[in-house]
Structure 1
């Protein structure tokens, strides 16, 4: 029976980042965009060029057609009371400029009969106007080749003949169409060459634009894994937003890493003395033979265990608060609700049974933009610090002072001396270390929360007692 395959262990190689999901490159997008524009623009330009070429060809060949008709009309004379046409060679030389086209002509007398040439039906508007251009079938047969015609009048007022002679000259459209197609073809060739030039220039511009990003990628790849300093490389304005977001992300990541490092160092620093004291007390209890002394030693071990538990709670609370200040979304929080929640939790009844604790809040809201849980943890630590190290009754409240939102805790004691006050709130500030109790970690949590939300921790001894307050920027009330 074969043994089941064990999963492969993951080593350092497995921590390598996988391939980054990519889409079309900027070069490809530019080329596609230019090609799309050229395709649509080419269709529009082809239609415009064909229309322009057709209009230019029609104007050019209409002038030739009109010139030939005028030449023929100028050759008409009156002889013995009847019009006579001596067809000039120059008229047909003009029409011969379109060698592939067929031509036709006719001369009509005042009665409408054809004097010479081929029968060509005249449209009624041309007949009434006495001349003009029109399109019709060559030879007047339906389904035959289309042609362009012009009718020119020649008026006579003589004794033996009076009336208007209509000279009609027609020509097929082959040369006109060829000229229109040639103009369209030339325009599209120019457009195509311009499009190729635009694609090449676009690719070069994109490549030149991407050089700062490629340099940025090389700099990031060459960085030390622990280097989270902001990126100060000069980049285009369009990329500055991304670099700013990346720098913000690295700042948050650096704070998270610093928080983990601080937690580890705090654990090593803060727990060393209480754990050593517990070990000594346990060894003494193991060797003690006097029952009374044994009970006293066990009582000391119990007190130190409770103190160690409180210290661990504070350290974990500090790590949680620092993590949430970077990751939690800022919302509108009323500091009166925070103070009320802390008092209603009744933690003070466990920390200092029988101690008087009062809540002082007004009717006006005290709004800030922050994280509710972080503020609650900070307020709990302020209250616990006042109960453990203060004297007399403890009061807690929230109010607007000098335009700032303030969450405060006041006890009736004088507070620490100036030297201790200057050090208090630091991470490793300890009081009665031999007893394993922390005096500064709770205030360190409150200070970290205040600074995370743009405020500060104020420690204010005075005649009315010692006050510790979170002073934060006030926010407008959100409905």
Structure 2
């Protein structure tokens, strides 16, 4: 399992270590010039304090004015020499291989494979040289670098410990959220309180609250759907059971034929109801959306009218298509076919014998319009707001139906971001179901 704490630690520790190294390096390079200037100043002071008497003895003047004689056999990291012409008069290191100085001032001399940093001051015909090996300077700088780097390295374990517990403390709200979510179930979709949460965690919790709200709605709709479906299926199943019992008790062929006809009708109705329920479940908001493509509404309407022509003829319905141009929209061809099939089937079922049903496809500015109109009894205005509900059937209609057709139409319209409305049919008779699809910019 990937640990967020371990991942943060693996990022923060190297970053902190690198920052400490960079800070040490910056301090080192910044102090390098200061140290060079300091050592150069020391060399000037030593050269100025050195004095040579007539006997060739070297003495150094202290702050108290007294002269301190340096023994010629003493060796130090700072080399002091006195030259007259090409002859050396005094040196603190007789084994040093430095040649005679040529002029006063600072200079770097390579002797016997070693670089010396020198300063020469002149007093009459006497040249006093102060020299220091470059290697000695670099050793001093290396010692400074170690002193700068060692605190960073030694504090790394302590820093890791603080980061480990600090990250754990910072991640405590996530553990509290996880504990709260573990107590949730289908019956408890209470929101998570965000008042005391850090600002960085609030977007995550708000997204979780939104998810909980959508799940609560989905579960509620599912419960209602199951309850309504069970109620609607109970009646036709009970009717089939009763008809089957009556068929066993039938005393004549005519009675048996009548009961068989009723069983066939009930079976057809039950199959239609089951198909509508499955379609509605497949179109639920939480289910995965269908693939989107360019759909020719005119061709789709022509195909649906052709398929429903025989059913319309059997019900003495004049079914026709009114389309003068090709109109295309973006959407799911399969779902739009289900939508139009339901509209046409409803119109055929409820319009009544010798009625006419027209399917209209047209363009209206920036929208594509799909209409299904009939001149039947229509739907009273008082019921038009409720017919979108599942299993609702208007009391004005005597034809049998599942009450799911318009619910399916509305669900598919919502998936296609289309508006759907109910109006009176031609000559203020019957019903017109109108859907308006917004055209993409390329088709406007």
Does TM, scored on the shorter chain, surpass 0.5?
Answer: yes
SS at match of 1:89: strand
Aligned to 1:153: 122
In the alignment, structure 1 residue 108 sits paired with structure 2 residue 83 = yes
Structure 1 distance, partners of 2:287, 2:417, is: 13
Cα separation, partners in 2 of 1:318 and 1:172, compared to 1, 3 Å: closer
Q: Is the 8 A contact 1:408 1:468 kept in 2?
A: yes
Cα separation, partners in 2 of 1:289 and 1:29, compared to 1, 3 Å: closer
User: Which string of whole-angstrom CA distances, capped at 9 and with x for unpartnered residues, describes residues 125-164 of structure 1?
Assistant: x73x543232544xxx447xx654222233x4xxxxxxx5
* 1:210-221 mapped onto 2 (5 Å cutoff): 210-221=171-182
1:376 maps to which of 327, 333, 337:
337
Cα separation, partners in 2 of 1:100 and 1:363, compared to 1, 3 Å: farther
Structure 2 distance, partners of 1:41, 1:458, is: 66
Measured on the aligned residues, the alpha-carbon RMSD in Å equals 4.1
Which has the bigger relative contact order, CA under 8 A and spacing at least 6?
1
Cα separation, partners in 2 of 1:95 and 1:133, compared to 1, 3 Å: farther
Q: Is the 8 A contact 1:34 1:195 kept in 2?
A: no
Question: What's the CA shift for 1:36?
Answer: 0.8
User: Which string of whole-angstrom CA distances, capped at 9 and with x for unpartnered residues, describes residues 11-66 of structure 1?
Assistant: xxxxxxxxxxx31233x333322321243344444544444455443332222222
SS at match of 1:167: strand
Q: Is the 8 A contact 1:67 1:94 kept in 2?
A: no
What are structure 1's unaligned runs of at least 5 residues? 1-21, 157-163
Cα separation, partners in 2 of 1:289 and 1:192, compared to 1, 3 Å: same
Using the size of structure 2 for normalisation, the TM-score is: 0.78
In the alignment, structure 1 residue 88 sits paired with structure 2 residue 53 = no
Aligned to 2:357: 394
Aligned to 2:320: 358
Aligned to 1:336: 297
User: Which string of whole-angstrom CA distances, capped at 9 and with x for unpartnered residues, describes residues 318-344 of structure 1?
Assistant: 112226x64115735546268437526
Cα separation, partners in 2 of 1:296 and 1:120, compared to 1, 3 Å: closer
Aligned to 1:134: 108
Q: Is the 8 A contact 2:21 2:152 kept in 1?
A: no
Aligned to 2:4: 25
Using the size of structure 1 for normalisation, the TM-score is: 0.73
* 1:302-321 mapped onto 2 (5 Å cutoff): 302-321=264-283
Question: What's the CA shift for 1:213?
Answer: 2.0
Question: What's the CA shift for 1:404?
Answer: 5.0
Cα separation, partners in 2 of 1:274 and 1:225, compared to 1, 3 Å: closer
Q: Is the 8 A contact 2:312 2:319 kept in 1?
A: no
SS at match of 1:322: coil
SS at match of 2:171: helix
Cα separation, partners in 2 of 1:319 and 1:76, compared to 1, 3 Å: same
Aligned to 1:449: 412
Cα separation, partners in 2 of 1:362 and 1:206, compared to 1, 3 Å: farther
Aligned to 1:412: 375
SS at match of 2:61: helix
Cα separation, partners in 2 of 1:202 and 1:406, compared to 1, 3 Å: farther
SS at match of 1:218: helix
Structure 2 distance, partners of 1:226, 1:395, is: 47
User: Which string of whole-angstrom CA distances, capped at 9 and with x for unpartnered residues, describes residues 445-464 of structure 1?
Assistant: 11233345555532211444
Structure 2 distance, partners of 1:332, 1:30, is: 45
In the alignment, structure 1 residue 70 sits paired with structure 2 residue 48 = yes
SS at match of 1:88: strand
Aligned to 1:466: 431
1:266 maps to which of 228, 237, 244:
228
In the alignment, structure 1 residue 282 sits paired with structure 2 residue 244 = yes
Cα separation, partners in 2 of 1:394 and 1:102, compared to 1, 3 Å: same
SS at match of 2:283: helix
In the alignment, structure 1 residue 346 sits paired with structure 2 residue 307 = yes
Structure 1 distance, partners of 2:215, 2:70, is: 86
Question: What's the CA shift for 1:295?
Answer: 2.3
